[in-house]
Amino acid sequence: MKYLIVLGDGMADEPIPELGNRTPLQAAKTPVMDWLAANGRCGQLDTVPKGFHPGSEIANMSVLGYDLNQVFEGRGSLEAASMGVNIEPGEMAMRCNLICIKNGIIKNHSAGHISNEEADELIRFLQKELGGNDVNFFSGVSYRHLLKLKNGDKRIDCTPPHDVPGTAFASVMIKAEVPEAEKTAERLNELILLSQKILPNHPVNLKRVQQGKDMANSIWPWSPGYKPKMETLQQRYGIQSGAVISAVDLIKGIGVYAGLEIIEVEGATGLYTTNYEGKADAALTALKKHDFVYLHIEASDEAGHEGDVDLKVKTIEYLDHRVLKRIVEKAGDLGEPLTIAVLPDHPTPCRLRTHTAAPVPFLIYRPGITPDNVPVYDEFSVKNGFYGHLSHDEFIKELFK
């Protein structure tokens, strides 16, 4: 048996008035998801354990069955693994966004989805001007980058920038949770303010202004942690081998620690313009070599953060007919039966433009399985599914049965 998880990041939502009080999943034309649901079994899954922020790092690790209380060490440490950046003893890693601030207000978390090339130039500039001693910057993808701080104390309160668009940045700067972390918070806030002095006049930003684009005029560090200790999926569940396909360093970093091969796909962007067909074909190729593939599609999450209802519907339809249809039609070529699971990691409601901890809908299709009575796949229909309401590692154990 082969196993495939297709994860539509942030795909779940709330009923939206302009969609006739339907969710984007309900409004989207998704014949393949609906077929998989009607011929498989469905349920709801809690992906955000109590006490944790509903970030993609938390939710994706939870989908894979990890005990967050035991292994979670921040988003930055996971992204460092994907980037090949080692975290030494005494070092703290953090995600470091390039963001756009206008009139003291966080306009967006992505600097207008800055390009890789522009962002790389800015991160190299920051490293030259601010890095090299206790702090170092490393280039990632688009707005998503890495910061390492020597002797940093992770007991700090950091606000993810995608949670607070429209908020005065000064009100959500880093705060120490214990007295010992005061120096860490002060140093990181100093770096934020220094970046705001030097970034606006960089040629990359001056050109973006001329083109009518948002500036990347501030860094925003968040999700601190040290190097995690995680068992591989092979150790936990006995699969022989696996792979992960994603445009996002965070997901690839989780894959590194989970013992999965990282497969790069040309044109994979993390946006609605991503190479859907290329990802589907890469998953099919990987399944010929591996027992398990984790195929992550970011686009719906970004649409939710933008509050773009129409785009979110479109990204869900793209996932259905450009990814799932392609995989279902070619699954017979694998030579072994294929179990397919489809789910989001968390909701990203367009109304809120941020993640929530609400349970997510999931389906598991397995050849020969006796289906339940769920006719279509969405947030509400699955409540009547065979699996009911799962949590912790119950989903991944059901998948690997």
- Residue 100's Cβ-side half-sphere holds a number of Cα atoms within 13 Å equal to 16
Taking a C-beta distance cutoff of 8 angstroms, is the pair 13, 349 a contact?
yes
State the greatest distance between any 2 C-alpha atoms of the chain, in Å, as a whole number: 62
Q: Which helix (H) or strand (E) segment is 157 a member of?
A: strand 156-157
Low-confidence ranges of the chain (pLDDT < 50): none
Residue 241 pLDDT: 96
| β-strands 338-343, 135-141 pairing | unpaired
pTM of the model: 0.82
Q: How far is CA 297 from the centre of its chain?
A: 9
Residue 74 pLDDT: 85
Residue with tokens 């860490």: 184
Q: How far is CA 314 from CA 112, 119, 225, 267, 346, in A?
A: 20, 27, 36, 18, 18
Q: How far apart are CA 126 and CA 136, in angstroms?
A: 9
Tell me the torsion sign for CA atoms 331, 335, 341, 345: negative
Exposure letters 16-27 (e unless 16+ CB within 10 A, then b): beebeebbbbbb
Residue closest to 359 by CA, chosen among 377, 341, 382? 382
For residue 92, what are the β-bridge partners?
Answer: 149
Q: Which residues contact 342 (CB under 8 A, 6 or more apart)?
A: 5, 6, 7, 8, 33, 36, 324, 362, 363, 377
Residue 79 pLDDT: 86
Q: How many degrees, rounded to 5, is the angle at CA 379 between CA 376 and CA 382?
A: 55
Exposure letters 148-165 (e unless 16+ CB within 10 A, then b): bbeebbbebebbbbbbbb
